[in-house]
Structure 1
């Protein structure tokens, strides 16, 4: 399943990311959007419902045969766990309790993390906020594949396996390319999660824990809800680096598909992002968007023009400053 690869490097941009400037323009015309800033008052109840469903499933899973466990992990548990991952995404922006109560957001993140099985809620925050601030930065935006990934997985077969292995790349890429010392809250997150996992195994056995872990990993790979990983920033149209999706799966992903709207207004909770689009429709309807995350996965794998290289990239801000300071002075008119 080889193919001719049309890209051998990322798309380099020498302009700033587009969201800050568009935010300013939209707010000048529609200042009422500021009324949508704040928090989702129902977030804690949504998270609680999803976590309780998974807790109840643990008692169902322990008596099932493995084929049924795999099927339920992919079709049911994985969808719920992916929804919880995107709840954690909302919590990284303090959108459950607001910016005045950051610890409350982190604690709810610990709770949302439990069925996922892999401790990541605190670590995700410190990398994700830099993805917003430095979108496309070759060092600080760890959402961008490494050169090794792009080189090794650029054929049809390679992209198929890259999609399957997305959970691995998302977990290891920040540690390899932009390591940070763990914080106290991260250590607490790890301790809580490992204790929960141990309790599940002790009281219910290995099957329920593996159901949770399988669901998390399967739903981050070749799965319709995982299409948002690729749809959000891979360059399906030249020059456009962020794409929204307006399909039905937004109902189970906290409207993460409204991704241009989210990057323009990260202080707006997911429940209000459709209102942003409705108010400032002329700014969003003209942008290319996706209608199907499954189609996104298919196009990514089979279209030779799309792959890990299809990302807009920018020089690291610190490296750019260093290069500018080391540049020779411009010749004067007298010279």
Structure 2
């Protein structure tokens, strides 16, 4: 495919749903409850850090996978929501950036500022070659093509998500990224000073484990891998949305990225005719199993476009 203008601010259902149901506009804007939910999660993890300080290593990793990592993965999805300015609104963009850094604390590694920098491109250039770093590289598609290799790839997803942007589309380090790193590592040092090494291992291992081979991580594959030809974005309406800020409502999110995750079910309810007939996933665990064992699905199963970089005015 030749170069195309690839400015995808909204998904394919946006024009019809917006025109027919203008009340959807009322759902846009900040979620007043998000900051309190996130604060509660941060302090829950802080309490957990205190409680695991003397645990045996086997129990430390068990709770990191079964509990702490679930919260941390959920926190990364809160950061995803915050990256769309839904914590304090578009007029308080700086507050959203700082609040995302606060939400980042229990994750253990600086993440929020870099995520924001690249996530805007994921929406603007969905599937854009070299622009959307959510797209696996050709090397990943070539190497991880058997069930065992795909299992390894899923396990190492956090590593690929962290390194891929640096290889595919490196960007200059921003001031917010420096602040993110300084605040995060200062927090880690404080936790280490107070309670030792185990809480640090609890936070970081939980993040890495639960963003790898874990039921919640099924959303990484479910969102944009082309399980059916011609459909590149899918929603999931199951119970795991309750702990993932409704990231499963992914078609709705791409149609209306400025609507908080908490209100995306209302989008589907209002404009049901645009979403009920679309292919959807019933289980993120099933998504992972299909990805591993179905020979027709792998890292290559993504729509890739050659995009012209949008001008700043756009």
> Stretches of 4+ moved more than 3 A in 1?
11-21
The answer for the alignment partner of 1:186 in structure 2 is 177
Once structures 1 and 2 are overlaid, which stretch shifts more, 306-315 or 194-203? 194-203
What is the correspondence of 1:108-257 to structure 2 with a 5 Å cutoff?
A: 108-257=99-248
How far apart are 1:316 and its partner, in Å? 2.7
Kept in 2: contact 1:140–1:178 (CA 8 A): yes
Aligned residue pair count: 309
User: More deviation in 198-207 or 249-258?
Assistant: 198-207
TM value normalised by structure 1: 0.89
- Structure 2 residue 84 is matched with structure 1 residue 76: no
2-structure distance, mates of 1:191, 1:15: 38
> What TM-score comes out, normalization by structure 2 length?
0.95
Question: Which of 1 and 2 has greater Rg?
Answer: 1
SS in 2 for 1:232: helix
- Deviation string, structure 1 residues 217-263 (Cα, Å, up to 9, x no partner): 00100001111011000001111000001000000000000000000
Residues 280-319 of structure 1 correspond to what in structure 2 (within 5 A)? 280-318=271-309
Whole-angstrom CA distance in 2 between matches of 1:26 and 1:166: 34
What root-mean-square deviation, in Å, do the aligned CA atoms of Structure 1 and Structure 2 show? 1.7
Structure 2 CA distance for aligned equivalents of residues 15 and 187 of structure 1: 33
Contact preservation (8 Å) 1:262, 1:273: yes
Structure 1's unaligned 5+ residue stretches are 1-10, 320-335
In the alignment, which of 14, 24, 32 is matched to residue 23 of structure 1? Answer: 14
Given that 1:166 and 1:221 are in contact with CA atoms closer than 8 Å, whether structure 2 keeps it comes out as yes
Question: What's the offset of the Cα at 1:172?
Answer: 0.3
